[in-house]
Amino acid sequence: MKTMKAVCIYSYGGPGVLVYENAPSPHPGPGEVLVRVHAAAINPVDWKIREGHLKEMLHHTLPLILGWDVSGVVESLGTGVVRLKVGDEVYSRPDIARDGAYAEFIVIREAEVALKPKSIDHIHAAALPLAGLTAWQTLFDAAGLAAGQRVLIHGAAGGVGNCAVQLAKWKGAHVIGTASARNHDFLRKLGVDQVVDYNAVRFEDVVEPVDVVLDTIGGDIQQRSWGVLKPGGILVSIAGPPSAETAAARGVRQAFVFTQPNAAQLAEIAGLADAEKLKAIVETILPLSDATRGQEVSERGHTRGKIVLRVV
């Protein structure tokens, strides 16, 4: 049996359940490609799955390889693959219900894979799929953000937040972002029009009404966000479903987005990266064998951009 290095879990729990080991190398089935992983980004969903928070929803079988943000090279093709060829440099946010990319190889459905941005390396390309798709699907698909609209982005310096800031600016929106003080210069350089220090002020006291709120935090932040929406505005959350009753009572709209793989949107995101409209922000690079440390840092909740595992 061919094996590969991978980071797996055999049970749910704290960082200590992560195991760096030799795992069976996968084979692509019909409509799938085998990708040699060069880099895999760490996302909060990785440690949420590790802790078992999503087990009722995703029904994984263990052992499970974590990590659903990848950049690499197509190694071989399953039958029926037409769009990709061996040697293509690709990136993906693969199906979260299957094995992930903390590994030397991953099998991905062709429909979930796009050519990576040509102008950036694999480390930076791996930082874009999950956060880029999340920003795209919240701001454009769910909220229909248009030029001239005002958008409040909570957690603007994080993985999702910084992509949302950049995509909203590209669309021509007026962008307000919340972050702790250490991230303010960074956010201004990304183009944020108004930066709010959530530790120093209540955002609802200083933000004029907005058309769109992107909630990446949930809880109290989500509850307080209703009050900053214009009539007919929309609260889009990726942290927890906003109340439909509250939205109706306030004359606003709400949506919860669970990000979906989408190769066509990834191709657009790659185009924006190559056109220097979207910068991949990588805070930390670690070897695959250090996935545990990467997850521990992610779990503290103050990552700027992404933490990326180097595999090749």
Ligand X SMILES: NC(=O)c1ccc[n+]([C@@H]2O[C@H](COP(=O)([O-])OP(=O)(O)OC[C@H]3O[C@@H](n4cnc5c(N)ncnc54)[C@H](OP(=O)(O)O)[C@@H]3O)[C@@H](O)[C@H]2O)c1
Please report whether residue 192 would count as binding ligand X according to CB under 6 A: no
Please report whether residue 28 would count as binding ligand X according to CB under 6 A: no
As a 3-state breakdown, the chain gives helix, strand, coil percent values, each rounded to 5, of 35, 30, 40
CB of 268 to ligand X, least distance (A): 18
Map residue 198 onto helix, strand or coil.
coil
Please report whether residue 43 would count as binding ligand X according to CB under 6 A: yes
Please report whether residue 179 would count as binding ligand X according to CB under 6 A: yes
Measured between alpha carbons, how far is 162 from 175 in angstroms, rounded to an integer? 11
What are the structure tokens assigned to 66, written together? Answer: 């974590």
Q: Which is nearer to ligand X, 102 or 105 (CB)?
A: 102
- The window from 21-29, 68-76, 288-296, 298-306 that contacts ligand X (CB under 6 A) reads 298-306
Handedness of CA 81, 264, 118, 302 (dihedral sign): negative
CB of 105 to ligand X, least distance (A): 24
Q: Is 228 left (phi over 0), alpha (psi -120 to 50) or beta?
A: alpha
What is the total count of residues that contact ligand X (CB under 6 A)? Answer: 31
Q: How far is CA 40 from CA 47, 65, 134, in A?
A: 14, 12, 17
- The window from 42-50, 225-233, 243-251, 288-296 that contacts ligand X (CB under 6 A) reads 42-50
CB of 82 to ligand X, least distance (A): 29
Which parts of 109-168 interact with ligand X (CB under 6 A)?
Answer: 131, 134, 154-155, 157-161
Measured between alpha carbons, how far is 195 from 185 in angstroms, rounded to an integer? 9
Whether omega before 63 lies within 30 degrees of 0, making that bond cis, reads yes
Please report whether residue 242 would count as binding ligand X according to CB under 6 A: no
Of these, 238, 252, 269, 309, which contacts ligand X (CB under 6 A)?
A: 238
Please report whether residue 298 would count as binding ligand X according to CB under 6 A: yes
Map residue 261 onto helix, strand or coil.
coil
**Nearest CA to 140 among 262, 241, 24?**
262
Residue of this chain nearest to ligand X (CB atom): 158
| Residues engaged in binding ligand X (CB under 6 A) | 43-45, 48, 131, 134, 154-155, 157-161, 178-180, 183, 198, 216-217, 221, 238-239, 257-259, 298, 301-304
